[in-house]
Structures are given as structure tokens and as C-alpha cells.
């Protein structure tokens, strides 16, 4: 079970400024296809190679297809990667099947947990316990998450404003205290009355990741070499000018050009009227490491 603990102690905050900046080299591109829109993410292949390889193992195996955003804390994070929607409506979403874990990953801190980055969740007091669950930072959480539990490894970032708008839209949804770890579970088309009356959630209510896929790289088109301009030989004589009129008007032996018989004017070519083609908050984050908090028992069965 994964959770984010309370904000880091003030004595540790200065260390956040020492973390490496976001990488300059382009990494693997992936797209999150969600029910609220696409999120384009660039992965940090060079800076967090173990985490990127781990994440891509899940992606390329289709393990994240149909997963659910099970935690949303506005101003902090949204989290997913653990639960799979199986097509059934359920009163308690923690009864959905889980993504099988592929083991843990060695921690690779270094990139700061700023807004729009994606990082791996892990268990408390174990820096090397991250596996399947990931989260998007909704705000600059560097003062807290860069130092907590050995630092949470950032392994990618959202590349455009449209993707940021999607995570903000998810964070704007109401949350409901389902059984843990869905105690901050976001839901669409769902009300407090639905919750109090134990109405189930399903396709129309859950925030579902339809799939995550690697964006194929377009092959680079090689540039054609420029054809060198050969310099003119200064000693090469110029060609003599060709006379425009081969007939000498003053030569009496030059015959006149006869007119075509029976015409007297140029034939009509037919004017078509023109050429139509001329116009071409850190203190509120003590709820614990991403994914798990205190159990919020509602004493009801799924």
C-alpha cells in the first residue's frame, strides 16, 4: 500500500534546490488516453532509466489499459495504476481487480516533483519500493516529495497545456470517501445523494485510463545536398549573340512573309473569362504516501 507522508521538515527544504533540472534531450513519448482527454508525456529515459523501463513494461503489456484514477487531492496529486475496471458496476471500487505487480524498482531521485511531472508511488520508509502506481503532480511539490522517503522519482513530464488541463479537470471532480484506498476517489456524474444511497459506480462515473501507448517516432527525412554552383571560367569566350531577326529589312532579296490566304486576322482562341486557378498545499498532504491513507470504513459490502 502506497502513501505520501507529511511535508518534509523545514531543515530539508533547502536541498530541493540542488536537484537536477528537467532533461534537455528528448525522451520516449507516451499518450494517456483518458475519459477526459489525452495527456502527452515525455519520459526521462536517461535520467531515470530503471523507472522508464519499469513503466514501459506495464504500458507495452497493456496492464494500464482500463485502469482507474483512485486518488485525487486537489492542489497536490492525482494517482492511478493500481485498479482495473472490469466492466462491472460496484458500490465499493476497491473491489475491482488489481494490476499485477512486476516487482520493485531501485530509487532514482534527481528530477524535481514540480507541476505536471509524473512520479512513482511507494511504501513508507522504503525508498526502493515503487512498482506499479504512479501519480501526477498538480502543483510544485518539490519541498515535500523531493526529500521524503529518499525522494520520489520523477520519470516524465506533461509536454503541453492540453495535458495539464486534463489533470486539472480530473482534480476538479468531486471526491467521495469510498473504502480505502479510494477514500479520495474522484467520480463523474455522481452526487452526495448517490453516495449516501450506496449507488454503484461504473463506466459513467469512474475516471478511467482507456490506455497508455508509446508514440511512434517519425523517421527523419535526410536533407538533400545542395548542388554547388560552378564558377564561370573567366577565360572562356562568351557566345556570340544570336540575331533576333534573320531577315535583313534593307536587303532587297529578302522576301516578304506572305499572309495566310483567306484570313487577314488571327483565329479566335475563345476567351473563357479568366484563369480560375490564378489564386492559388504541502501541510494538507499528511494524508500519507500516494495510494493509501487511513481506512474510511463505511460498514457496507460491495
Per-residue pLDDT reduced to its tens digit, 143-178:
999 999 999 999 999 999 999 999 999 999 999 999
Q: What is the mean pLDDT of residues 81-99?
A: 98
SS3 281: coil
Q: What is the mean pLDDT of residues 115-123?
A: 97
What share of the chain in percent tops pLDDT 90? 63
Write out pLDDT tens, residues 256-299: 433 333 333 333 333 333 333 333 344 444 344 444 443 444 53
The label of the residue with cell 519500493 reads: 129
The label of the residue with cell 511539490 reads: 141
Write out pLDDT tens, residues 93-109: 999 999 999 999 999 99
pTM: 0.69
Q: Which cell is 95 given?
A: 473491489
Higher pLDDT: 59 or 285? It is 59
CB-based contacts of 272, cutoff 8 Å, min separation 6: none
- Tell me the pLDDT band of 216, cut-offs 50, 70 and 90: confident
29-217: which CATH topology?
Cyclophilin (2.40.100)
pLDDT at 12 over 50: no
- 76-93 burial, b for 16+ CB within 10 Å, e for fewer? bbbbbbbbbbeeeebbbb
Q: Which cell is 151 given?
A: 525522494
Amino acid at each position: 500500500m502506497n502513501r505520501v507522508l507529511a511535508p518534509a521538515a523545514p531543515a530539508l527544504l533547502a536541498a530541493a534546490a540542488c536537484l537536477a533540472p528537467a532533461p534537455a534531450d528528448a525522451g520516449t513519448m507516451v499518450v494517456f488516453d483518458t475519459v477526459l482527454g489525452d495527456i502527452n508525456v515525455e519520459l526521462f529515459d536517461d535520467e531515470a532509466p530503471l523507472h522508464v523501463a519499469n513503466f514501459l513494461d506495464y504500458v507495452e503489456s497493456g496492464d494500464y489499459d482500463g485502469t482507474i484514477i483512485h486518488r485525487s487531492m486537489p492542489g497536490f496529486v492525482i494517482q492511478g495504476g493500481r485498479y482495473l475496471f472490469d466492466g462491472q458496476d460496484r458500490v465499493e471500487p476497491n473491489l475491482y481487480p488489481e494490476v499485477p505487480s512486476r516487482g520493485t524498482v531501485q530509487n532514482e531521485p534527481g528530477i524535481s516533483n514540480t507541476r505536471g511531472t509524473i512520479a512513482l508511488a511507494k511504501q513508507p520508509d522504503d525508498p526502493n519500493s515503487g512498482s506499479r502506481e504512479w501519480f501526477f503532480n498538480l502543483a510544485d511539490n518539490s519541498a515535500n516529495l523531493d526529500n521524503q522517503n529518499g525522494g520520489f522519482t520523477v520519470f516524465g513530464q506533461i509536454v503541453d497545456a492540453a495535458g495539464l488541463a486534463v489533470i486539472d479537470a480530473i482534480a476538479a471532480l468531486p471526491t467521495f470517501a469510498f473504502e480505502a484506498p479510494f477514500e479520495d476517489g474522484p467520480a463523474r456524474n455522481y452526487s452526495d445523494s448517490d453516495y449516501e444511497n450506496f449507488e454503484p459506480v461504473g463506466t459513467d462515473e469512474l475516471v478511467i485510463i482507456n490506455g497508455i501507448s508509446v508514440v511512434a517516432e517519425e523517421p527523419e527525412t535526410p536533407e538533400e545536398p545542395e548542388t554547388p554552383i560552378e564558377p564561370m571560367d573567366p577565360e572562356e569566350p562568351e557566345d556570340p549573340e544570336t540575331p533576333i531577326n534573320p531577315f535583313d529589312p534593307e536587303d532587297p532579296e529578302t522576301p516578304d512573309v506572305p499572309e495566310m490566304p483567306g484570313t487577314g486576322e488571327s483565329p479566335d482562341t475563345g476567351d473563357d473569362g479568366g484563369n480560375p486557378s490564378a489564386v492559388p498545499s504541502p501541510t494538507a498532504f499528511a494524508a500519507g504516501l500516494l495510494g493509501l491513507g487511513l481506512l474510511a470504513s463505511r460498514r457496507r459490502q460491495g
